């Protein structure tokens, strides 16, 4: 019986995100902002941090934005697929062109691997 209680307590603690208690107020707010952005369109990790910390975006401190984004459980490959599909819904891209757009420092800032995955899964390659 004690084992069962211990197992239930372990499950309860495992289901509570531990990062939520360790984030500062600005970091929690940055998480909320990031969740809103992610609900609208695909973002890379670097693109989301830049959006949150930009003077033209939300203006969070870069370190707060980074901690906030890194505290979230985001599948960056899935985000790359979303971004790739969004681009393809607007205009045509070659496989190479879409990968370059997704991975460019002037574009979406995905890693080369994420951009390639996104372009392939979206059907551009």
| Strand, coil or helix: 24 | coil
Q: What is the pLDDT of residue 76?
A: 98
Collect all residues with Cβ–Cβ distance below 8 Å to 81 and sequence separation of at least 6: 42, 117, 118, 121, 122
* pLDDT band of 21, cuts 50, 70, 90: low
pTM strictly above 0.85: no
Q: What is the pLDDT of residue 20?
A: 55
């Amino acid at each position: 019986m004690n084992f069962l209680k211990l197992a239930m307590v372990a499950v309860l603690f495992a289901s509570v995100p531990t990062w939520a208690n360790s984030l500062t107020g600005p970091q929690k707010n940055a998480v909320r902002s990031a969740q809103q952005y992610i609900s609208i369109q695909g973002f890379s990790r670097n693109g989301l941090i830049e959006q949150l910390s930009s003077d033209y975006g939300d203006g969070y401190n870069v370190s707060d934005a980074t901690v906030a984004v890194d505290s979230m459980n985001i599948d960056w490959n899935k985000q790359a697929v979303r971004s790739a599909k969004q681009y393809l819904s607007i205009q045509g891209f070659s496989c190479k062109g879409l990968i370059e757009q997704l991975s460019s420092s002037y574009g979406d800032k995905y890693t080369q691997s994420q951009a390639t995955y996104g372009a392939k899964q979206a059907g551009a390659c």
